[in-house]
Structure 1
Amino acid sequence: MRVLDALITQPPPHGWGVRELAGVIGENRSTVNRVLQGLVERRLAEVGSTATYRAGPRLRVLAGRLHARHPILGQAATVIADLAARCDATIMVVMQGPWPSTGFLAVLHEHEGPVRYQLTPGMVLPLHAGAAGKALLATIGLDVLDDVELERFGEDTIVDRKRLATELAGAEQAGYVTSVGQHIPLAAGVAAPFAAVTGENAAVSATRPRYSTSDDELTRIGPLVRDAAAALGRLRPVDPTEQPFPAAPRTSAEADTTALGRFERLLAVLADQPGGVSPGRELVSLIGASAPTVTRLRATAEASGIARTTDGGDLAAGPLLLRWAAALGPQPPLPALLTDDLAQLAAATGETTALTVFDRSTTTAVMTTVVPGPNPVHYGLGAGAPIPLHAGAAGKAILAHCDRELIEKQPLDPITPRTPTHRDQLERDLTLVRDRGWAEADGERIPDAFGIAAPFFDGAGIAGSVTVTIPRFRKDELDITQLGAKLAEAAARITRLLTI
């Protein structure tokens, strides 16, 4: 967990070297290297060409799910955008951190003005300085600072505990706190605390340039921030039963009984159900381990801040996991997430490789990314092109896993003389795709091009396909079955990456 925390919250511009990372977390290099190899194997970390490590795509998928489910990470944007417009200010949502004496920036809406602040989601913020921290402190209580030396960030920072207590007492009556230059010397802010429906202590703040913000302006903004805090406190997590992401069934070959495998499954459960999951039989079933093993895993997760126990006794996403998700941000678009997969496939096959993404809401497909292979003669494809579902390997690999209604309403327009234009022919092709796991097409969409494609899924259904396209004159030089198997293996790897 210390390795993951460094990869996520302290990423150097070019990634971590093993030696540097070992020094930061206080472990020997062999231990850190062994941990990194396990993380890379599960795609929680990835290694670059210079043997440096960074957060991997699996972490970004898990963070993306937590953003999609959590009431603050995923749903606060509308509330704070409205507050930013009404206050002409930068808006932050800060949550209590893994360490009780700190907070972390969970959500940020930057004001587009001449003054910008060095703020990034996931960054640690003090509780005794700055409006957001003080608003949190008003809820949590000064006791959390008993063993903490209060840092002075500027001449206006309050480090006297009695004076701080007096300010917080006044804030309790008004429902908000103010700060002028106490954390960032050039900033003036107003913040109000709230409790998220999922149980986390949080605060929302509006920050403006100090030089253009009078006391009267802070008084005007205060009630607006207080109202926004109330609105944020009413946001509810997305119910997994209302928006389910069915998990792909695990095969025996995919079962991972290692400690790291169980830890990854715990992260997935917490990301999918941030409001909490029953720590009894339900959690044991989801983790796939014995009850005593899950009990030990739970204790470690709670001690580290990865998880916490709610008032109702459920196990929910903890402050450290929420901080990781804030730092990583929402899940990036699939083309950005799968760049390395496509490059590896192009290198392995020697052919032009493409990613086609299927939009289930519009039932349309677009070829978003093309990676030329190293073969000196390859087929050129244009990214951004719409892909018909009834013609070509990329489209048929997707259509084979769509519902019957969509299959039956395909227009079967001829694109080339080889395009399937008879429904019986298309049905045979789609049945073959489902049976063997990949599609092939000979000049159906592009004359003189032969393509092979395999579908991938994201847990909610068909999400797209990966395709290899070659000139038809080289078709007989290739082992098509072997190439199809490589594509199916790559697509299965992508499915595992995307499935919670």
Structure 2
Amino acid sequence: MRNVLNTLRVLEEVAARQPIGVGELARVLELPKSTVQRALITLDTAGWIRPASGEVTRWALTTKALAVGSRAGGDLGLRGMALPIMENLRRHTEETIHLTVPEDGKMVLIERLETDKPVRTNMALGHSLPLHASANGKAVLAHSNPEFVRQLLVNELPRYTETTITDPDQLQAELSTIRDTGYAVNRGEWRSDVGAVAAVVLGDTGQPIASLSVNVPFSRLTAKTEPAFGTAVHKAAQTLTTRLT
């Protein structure tokens, strides 16, 4: 029973202080490092926590904890906070809206609101998107720790379509543009028939915790709709950021 309670205490502290390492957890909880380390291994194995930004010495919650928390906390969860904002964005754009969160070097879809239009994009909840080849991922990368971005660019970036950005310098330039405009655009870079415009949602520390996106068949991403979607999704993401912080 004591081991279970200690594990739950560790989970609560990770949620409150993420990203956090074993040493700080041990000091805060007044527990031996070995006890904390065992709890972290258990939580990692069960899928409740993950290495933060790829650093195995610091930990953060996964979407599993987020999903349980949003069901228990109702409107206090990320989904609950985001849904009315997503609904307003859907009404304004008349397109499908996605809420994604970064996890394990990808973006994971945790909520969506579908357009009423017969031709639409289709993606299941829990589906993951590449960071460098999705609007959601690029929006998050543009506001991520520069060291995390550099680590991503050390390895060869996978190419999914003819428009996928795989050159590190080109991607860095794209991220700079995203910071200037306030939104990211996917012009068929992951799937050639899908386009999207996304903006980052920031947490208390100013680090990206999610992104909102407007998702359309590529034929509906035009010179006219792209900036209009960008302005709308940027405003929605700012509203969600304000409510969460």
TM bucket, shorter chain: 0.5 to 0.7
Larger radius of gyration: 1
- Structure 1 residues 278-327: Cα deviation after superposition (integer angstroms, max 9, x where no partner): xxxxxxxxxxxxxxxxxxxxxxxxxxxxxxxxxxxxxxxxxxxxxxxxxx
Q: Secondary structure at the match of 1:397?
A: helix
8 Å Cα contact 1:347/1:374 also seen in 2: no
Q: Pick from 390, 406, 420 the counterpart of residue 148 of structure 2.
A: 406
TM superposition shift of 1:400? 0.7
Q: Which residue number in structure 2 is paired with residue 481 of structure 1?
A: 227
1:435 aligns with 2:180: yes
Shift of 1:471: 1.2
Residue 451 (str. 1) matches residue 193 (str. 2) = no
Alignment of 1:497 with 2:243, yes or no, is yes
Cα deviations across residues 83-122 of structure 1 (Å, max 9, x unaligned)?
xxxxxxxxxxxxxxxxxxxxxxxxxxxxxxxxxxxxxxxx
Contact between 2:96 and 2:120, CA under 8 Å: does it hold in 1? yes
Matched to 2:172, the amino acid is E
Match of 2:201, SS? strand
- Indicate the residue corresponding to 1:422 in structure 2: 167
What displacement does 1:446 show? 1.4
- Could you say which residue in structure 2 is the equivalent of 1:349? 93
Paired letter, 1:490: A
Q: Deviations over 1:344-378 (max 9, x none)?
A: 2111110111011124xx44421111211233322
Q: SS at 1:447's partner residue? A: coil
CA contact (8 A) 2:81 2:244 kept: no
* Deviation, structure 1 residue 453: 0.3
SS in 2 for 1:486: helix
Over the matched positions of the two proteins, sequence identity in percent amounts to 29
* More helix, by proportion: 2
1:370 equivalent to 2:112? Answer yes
Question: CA distance change for structure 1 residues 332 and 446 in 2, over 3 Å: closer, same or farther?
Answer: farther
* CA shift for structure 1 position 482: 2.1
Match of 2:121 among 379, 388, 391: 379
Deviation at 1:473, TM superposition (A): 1.6
Query: Is 1:339 aligned with 2:90?
Result: no
CA distance in 1, matches of 2:145, 2:82: 26
2:207 counterpart of 1:465: no
- 3-state SS of the aligned residue for 2:177? helix
Post-superposition shift, 1:493? 0.4
**CA deviation digits over 1:451-475, x for unaligned, max 9?**
1000011112111110111112222
Question: What are the residue-to-residue correspondences of 1:46-195 with 2, within 5 Å?
Answer: none
Separation of aligned partners in 1, 2:196 and 2:162: 16
Quote the offset at 1:396 in angstroms. Answer: 0.2
The TM-score, its normalising length taken from structure 2, stands at: 0.66
* TM-score of the superposed pair, with normalisation by structure 1: 0.33
Give the deviation of 1:329 after TM superposition.
Answer: 5.2
Instruction: Find the aligned partners of 1:477 and 1:435 in 2 and give their Cα distance.
Output: 18
Provide structure 2 residue ranges, at least 5 long, that are not aligned to the other structure.
6-11, 20-71
Query: In structure 2, what is the Cα distance between the partners aligned to 1:438 and 1:391?
Result: 14
Q: What's 1:209 paired with?
A: none
Deviation (angstroms), 1:336: 3.7
Distance 1:498 1:366 in 2: 19
The number of residue pairs the alignment matches comes to 182
Q: Deviations over 1:29-79 (max 9, x none)?
A: xxxxxxxxxxxxxxxxxxxxxxxxxxxxxxxxxxxxxxxxxxxxxxxxx87
In 1, the alpha carbon distance for the partners of 2:131 and 2:18 equals: 26
Q: 1:345 to 1:449 in 2, by over 3 A?
A: same
**Runs (5+) with no aligned partner, structure 1:** 1-77, 83-236, 246-327
Distance 1:349 1:330, change over 3 A: closer
Cα distance in 1 for partners of 2:173, 2:80 equals 34
